[in-house]
A = this chain, B = another copy of it.
Amino acid sequence: MPGMEFFKALKREADTRILLFVADGLGGLPRERGGLTELETAKTPNLDALAAEGICGLLDPVAPGVTPGSGPAHLALFGYDPIEYNVGRGLLAALGVGFPIQHGDVAARINFCTVDDRGTVTDRRAGRIATDLNRKLVEKLRKAVTIDGIEIFIDTVKEHRAVVIFRADGLYDKLNDTDPQATGAKPHAVVAADEQSKKMAGIATEFVDRAAEVLAEEQPANMVLLRGFARYERFPTVEEVFGIKCGAIAAYPMYKGVAKLVGMEVIDCGQEPEDEVEALEQNVGGYDFFFLHYKKTDSRGEDGDFDAKVKEIEHFDSLVPAVRKLNFDVIAVTGDHSTPALLKSHSWHPSPLILWSAYERGDECDAFGETQCALRGGLGRHRAADLMPMILANAQRLEKFGA
């Protein structure tokens, strides 16, 4: 498969504008065998019209059978091979709280946990403490845990989860998790798997020891476990690789963070989908490419609430007319991954896709749905990372390869 260097050499300027409209976790499953999915159940006249005019297909976020997290799923939609450009858990947690990550930072997830007086873990999640308590503990750690020569940033995520970012020269991330993955065991010591990660191992060990002292009198969260050490190495940006100036419109911090990772500019907007569309309308002249993110289709899938997900899809559909009025040259509508209510989680199923432009062939889709995309879609099934080149081709932003 062609890589970033390949596309860098092909990028071409054009006076065309592109919209990538993502309904998070869009794809789904029928409630029971033989039924309709959430998308097929929803009344989506605007998406159906777009599907009928455009060409449809399916996207595998990573590869067949692989269920992705939100990070890799979005990176793939942005044209990045999600296996090569892997974003570690710590880094995603930092993006998720909107932390302005810098090249060379090492981030790790913190789980507050409970240990007994011999240091043995008795609850890996400290009874899923309330987020408010988490904030108080984070505040305490911020004040009391300092290490000479290292900048340390700590942020609450939710319940028992927090994130820590270490900033200094020469920090690397080949470190094990301290989480023993079972109660009745002591936290693992931090050990570096290579020479260059030894400095970070020392720092992490000191951090854990200091945190243990600071939290000793707390209950139930009297200790921390660290997971998913991840160093941020600057990604090539969408502008460098594909030659497009990209604006990202997303209400949730995680998606803003992933967009920033690839050099998109995050456009301020309110929390509601209508606010996002308004931000799009106000900025439409300022960018070549927009990433517009709709969150709650995924949330309702995660809740396992089929009907509520149907309603969110209908809400998503209702935004399409305003978006179409903006006269984009190319519109792609898809999910980053599937989140079937039946599974209450992300899944491996490919995402339905509409690719709309003046330069695509037709097919036989007259409605937007997973089975229509599979059986009547003219595009076929592709890796999600192949979408960006198809979009750019339709926007006449790729040079011919070879003479």
Contact = CB atoms under 8 A, between A and B. Distances in A.
A342 B398 CA distance: 17
B362 A65 contact: no
Nearest to A254: B403
Contact of A358 (B33, B87, B386): B33
A329 interface: no
A185 B248 CA distance: 38
Contact of A393 (B1, B65, B342): B65
Interface in A360-403: 360-364, 370-371, 374-376, 378-382, 386, 388-393, 398-403
A271 to B, nearest CB: 22
Interface string A84-122: 001101001100000000000000000000000000000
A378 B380 CA distance: 10
A341 to B, nearest CB: 12
Contacts of A380: 58, 374, 380-381
The quantity of this chain's copies bound in the complex is: 2
Contact of A68 (B89, B364, B402): B402
Contacts of A345: 400
A221 B87 CA distance: 54
Contacts of A11: none
B374 A375 contact: no
Contacts of A83: 2, 6
Interface residues of A, number: 70
Interface stretch (A69-77, A135-143, A166-174, A176-184): A69-77
Contacts of A309: none
The 10 closest A-B pairs by CB, nearest first: A65-B389, A69-B402, A65-B390, A72-B402, A348-B393, A380-B381, A65-B393, A64-B386, A69-B403, A92-B403
7 contacts: A29-B359, A30-B362, A343-B359, A348-B393, A349-B360, A364-B371, A364-B375
Interface of A: 1-2, 6, 10, 29-30, 33-35, 37, 53, 58, 62-73, 82-83, 86-87, 89, 92-93, 228, 340, 342-343, 345-349, 358-364, 370-371, 374-376, 378-382, 386, 388-393, 398-403
